[in-house]
């Protein structure tokens, strides 16, 4: 057990006494002056050595002993309680929270720790960007009512809410949700053969996310005085397009939020899926941070950095790593190299690869290189053979035939696994699984190969994906643990227009090529009128009530909120399954809480029948 862990364990027995950060040798980067650490609780990451866990990943978990770091007198960083490390800035008559964690329960746990240092009321909450681990626990700190009245400022970039909607209820929300589960390992149990840590923090599990709508929007830069604290909020698009950093000039403390992703190489691309993250935009954004004369640095993932020299060096190394990977990828693309070639030649130089904040635990150079190629040139690699390739299932059938049939391929895959070549084993077994999803032996063989590959990885996203895919293959996967990105409390916060507009992604276009029909919506309590037209395979949204709507539904937004929250008591409905919308709507019509102003119930049901229902079955990612 290293000195840091010994000190933490002792502190648990003697009480919440501070440990001067200068006493903790080798635990993080910087000179540590002006930083105190108050450990509290057990490490929720798996931090024990095991043959199924890479030693570097075990060392990474051992950094995640939970506690509160006090930085520059009035800033407190709650580290180790969630994937995200919320910050509390203490002012004269209140506190400011930067980045609530991903879940309300985790937010309450964080608030419990913060209350050991200040009992002042929350005056403001800052969302650094739209990812759920930076806002999901907000209800632990502020209510919808206090935000709506302006009693508590909720600050975010002006595009924040639109980005949340696009990544949850609208657009790619369903598939992104499935891929998040695989990437962050939420379907795995914590342990040596499952989830080890969250890469950027000890764990990423969401059971009850929340969302309070921002009431203060940032464009480029915003200077404010909150609770007597002078604060500058600066827009720095980088890891997310709506990222905002926080600068406290009086204490010279820079909160880099997730522009620096903590003690790991950044996710220039995330394998769960995202729009292209421009590396040039990212490292030039860090150059903007370097212009601040920072004496202290905290981030939403990772531990504090203290000292002007250490802060400057960390910022410089981080931006240099991003530029190095981007520039060298472009350089070798210009030599005609393809993604598989680039992965072999573009690697961090030793001085960056061994930097404490650039380990291969979350973001990775290999998958970033591939994304740079696709982001700059697109998917086509230049060989016209693959402009219209043989379809995968058919190609697999032909490969199996060429190799001598199913049993021969199975034997070769098993031999490869016995020889330790698990990658080749998995690739061979993939042909068998692709041709027949019911081939149990092939699925088991591929699952075991993926597990063996995953156990040797330090990058938590890669490890989790290998192990979760293995569970999908062998049938042991537990989808009850899945994250619900379209959680009711999030939908309640969305504008009505976005909820209706999001229906267009579920239109069964093939069944509506000869359909022209319009549904109107009236929400008297919020004075809104909206419409959705189906027009020959396209659903067009209107922010007004079309005059010729075939059906017009009247329902209060407050009733709609109760419906979204599945609160049958508030709706006064008994004996109705909240998971079955038609029966709920029928009960609302019967009770008079919803009514049709134009059209018939049959017309209304016909309109709804043209849209896919909300998926009840998990999306398969490995059985393709």
pLDDT tens-digit readout, 438-468? 999 999 999 999 999 999 999 999 999 999 9
Q: Is residue 373 part of a domain?
A: no
State the Cα–Cα distance between residues 259 and 548, nearest whole angstrom. Answer: 49
Does residue 191 or residue 561 have the better pLDDT? Answer: 191
| 143 vs 488: which has the higher pLDDT | 143
pLDDT of 14 higher than 50? no
Summarize pLDDT for 324-334 with one digit per residue, the tens.
999 999 999 99
> Is the residue at 536 inside a domain?
yes
Structure confidence at residue 590 as a pLDDT band (50, 70, 90):
confident
pLDDT of amino acid 28: 62
pLDDT of residue 15: 38
453 and 521 co-located in one domain: no
For the cut 50, the answer to whether the pLDDT of residue 571 exceeds it is yes
Last residue of a domain, which of 422, 456, 481? 481
Task: Examine the pLDDT at 22 and tell me if it is beyond 50.
Answer: no
Residue with the larger pLDDT of the pair 54 and 17: 54
Same domain (yes/no): 600, 537: yes
Quote the pLDDT of residue 464. Answer: 96
* Whole-Å CA distances, 168 to 173, 285, 487, 502: 4, 27, 9, 10
- Domain identity same for 476 and 499: no
* 496-510 pLDDT per residue, tens: 998 899 889 989 999
In a domain, 217, yes or no: yes
Query: Are 446 and 583 contained in the same domain?
Result: no
Q: Looking at the predicted structure, is the pLDDT value of residue 33 above 50?
A: yes
Domain limit, last residue, from 417, 446, 481: 481
3-class SS letters over 374-419: HHHHCCCCCCHHHCCCCCHHHHHHHHHHHCCCHHHHHHHHHHHHHC
512 found inside a domain: yes
Residue 342 lies in a domain: no
The CATH number given to whatever domain includes residue 405 is 1.25.40.880
Whether 568 has a pLDDT exceeding 60, the answer reads yes
- The count of domains in the chain is 3
Say how many residues make up the chain. 624
| pLDDT for the residue 578 | 62
| 507 and 575 co-located in one domain | yes
Strand runs labelled E in 200-279: 216-218, 221-226, 229-235, 244-248, 253-255
Tell me: do 59 and 174 sit in the same domain.
yes
Widest pairwise Cα distance in the chain: 77
Assess if residue 208 is contained within a domain. yes
HEC string for 95-110: EEEECCCCCHHHHHHH
Assign 433 a pLDDT band (cuts: 50, 70, 90). Answer: very high
Give dist(CA 101, CA 68) in Å, integer: 14
Task: Give the pLDDT of residue 2.
Answer: 38
Same domain for 537 and 469: no
One domain for residues 189 and 95: yes
- Is 319 within the bounds of a domain? no
Task: Give me the pLDDT at residue 471, please.
Answer: 97
In this structure, the answer to whether residues 70 and 32 fall within a common structural domain is yes
pLDDT over threshold 80, residue 13: no
Q: What is the pLDDT of residue 12?
A: 31
What strands lie across the sheet with 516-523, from one edge to the other?
538-542, 528-535, 516-523, 551-555, 594-598
Q: What is the residue-averaged pLDDT of the chain?
A: 91
Mean pLDDT, range 210-219, rounded to an integer: 96
- Domain harbouring 179, CATH code: 3.60.15.30
Please check the confidence at residue 78 and state whether its pLDDT lies above 90: yes
Residue 428: which domain range? 385-481
Q: Give kind and range of the element (H or E) at residue 88.
A: strand 87-90
User: Is residue 593 a contact partner of residue 571, using CB atoms and an 8 Å limit?
Assistant: yes
Same structural domain, 155 and 9: yes
Q: Measure CA 82 to chain center.
A: 13
* pLDDT mean over 296-304: 95
Does position 336 have pLDDT exceeding 60, yes or no?
yes
pLDDT at 1 over 50: no
CB 91 within 8 A of CB 211: no
Q: What is the pLDDT of residue 7?
A: 33
Determine the average pLDDT of the residues in 253-274.
94
Q: Is the pLDDT of residue 580 over 70?
A: no
The average pLDDT across 139-154 equals 96
Among 454, 481, 508, the domain boundary falls at 481
* CATH number of the domain enclosing 533: 3.30.1050.10
Name the 3-class secondary structure at 542: strand
Instruction: Tell whether 457 and 544 lie within a shared domain.
Output: no
Comparing 566 with 100, the larger pLDDT belongs to: 100
In a domain, 521, yes or no: yes
Residue 23 pLDDT exceeds 80: no
Confidence of residue 544 (pLDDT cuts 50, 70, 90): very high
Same domain (yes/no): 564, 468: no
3-class secondary-structure state, position 528 = strand
> What mean pLDDT comes out for the span 290-316?
96
């Amino acid at each position: 057990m290293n000195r840091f862990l010994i000190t933490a364990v002792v502190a648990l027995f003697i009480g919440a006494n501070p440990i001067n950060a200068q006493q903790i040798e080798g635990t993080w980067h910087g000179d540590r002056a002006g930083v105190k650490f108050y450990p509290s609780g057990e490490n929720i990451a798996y931090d024990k050595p095991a043959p199924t866990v890479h030693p570097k990943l075990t060392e990474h978990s051992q950094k995640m002993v939970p506690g509160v770091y006090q930085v520059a007198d009035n800033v407190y960083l709650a580290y180790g309680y969630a994937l995200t490390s919320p910050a509390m800035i203490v002012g004269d008559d209140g506190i400011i929270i930067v980045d609530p964690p991903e879940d309300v329960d985790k937010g309450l746990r964080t608030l419990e720790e913060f209350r050991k240092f200040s009992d002042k009321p929350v005056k403001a909450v800052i969302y650094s960007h739209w990812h759920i681990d930076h806002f999901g626990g907000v209800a632990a700190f502020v209510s919808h009512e206090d935000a709506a009245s302006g009693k508590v400022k909720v600050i975010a970039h002006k595009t924040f809410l639109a980005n949340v909607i696009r990544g949850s209820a609208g657009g790619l929300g369903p598939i992104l949700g499935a891929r998040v589960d695989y990437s962050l390992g939420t379907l795995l149990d914590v342990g040596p053969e499952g989830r080890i840590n969250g890469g950027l923090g000890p764990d990423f599990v969401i059971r009850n996310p929340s969302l309070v709508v921002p009431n203060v929007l940032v464009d480029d830069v915003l200077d404010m005085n909150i609770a007597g604290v002078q604060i500058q909020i600066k827009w720095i698009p980088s890891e997310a397009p709506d990222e905002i950093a926080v600068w406290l000039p009086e204490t010279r403390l820079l909160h880099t939020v997730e522009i620096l992703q903590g003690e790991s190489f950044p996710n220039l691309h995330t394998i769960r899926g995202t729009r292209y993250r421009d590396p040039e935009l990212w490292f030039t954004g860090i150059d903007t941070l370097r212009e601040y004369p920072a004496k202290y640095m905290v981030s939403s993932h990772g531990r504090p950095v203290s000292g002007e020299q250490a802060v400057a060096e960390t910022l410089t190394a981080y931006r240099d790593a991003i530029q190095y990977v981007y520039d060298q990828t472009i350089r070798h693309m210009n030599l005609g190299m393809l993604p598989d070639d680039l992965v072999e030649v573009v690697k961090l130089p030793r001085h960056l690869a061994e930097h404490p904040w650039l380990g291969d635990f979350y973001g990775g150079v290999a998958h970033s290189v591939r994304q740079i190629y696709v982001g700059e040139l697109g998917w086509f690699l230049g060989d016209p053979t693959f402009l219209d390739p043989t379809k995968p299932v058919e190609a697999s059938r032909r490969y199996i035939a060429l190799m001598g049939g199913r049993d021969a391929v199975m034997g070769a895959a098993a031999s490869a696994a016995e020889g330790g070549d698990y990658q080749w084993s998995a690739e061979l077994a993939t042909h068998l699984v692709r041709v027949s999803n019911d081939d149990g032996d092939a699925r088991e063989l591929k699952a075991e190969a993926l597990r063996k590959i995953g156990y040797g990885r330090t990058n938590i996203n890669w490890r989790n994906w290998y192990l979760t895919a293995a569970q999908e293959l062998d049938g042991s996967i537990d989808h009850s643990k899945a994250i619900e990105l379209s959680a009711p409390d999030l939908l309640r916060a969305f504008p009505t227009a976005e909820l209706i507009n999001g229906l267009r992604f579920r239109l069964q276009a093939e069944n509506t090529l000869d359909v022209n029909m319009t549904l109107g919506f009236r929400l008297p309590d919020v004075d809104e009128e909206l419409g959705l037209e189906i027009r020959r395979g396209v659903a067009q949204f209107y922010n007004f009530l079309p005059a010729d709507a075939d059906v017009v539904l009247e329902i209060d937004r407050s009733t709609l909120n109760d419906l979204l929250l599945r609160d049958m008591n508030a709706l006064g409905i008994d004996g109705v399954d909240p998971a079955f919308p038609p029966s709920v709507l029928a009960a609302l019509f019967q009770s008079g809480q919803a009514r049709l102003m134009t059209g018939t119930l049959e017309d209304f049901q016909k309109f709804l029948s043209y849209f896919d229902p909300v998926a009840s079955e998990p999306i398969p990612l490995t059985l393709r």
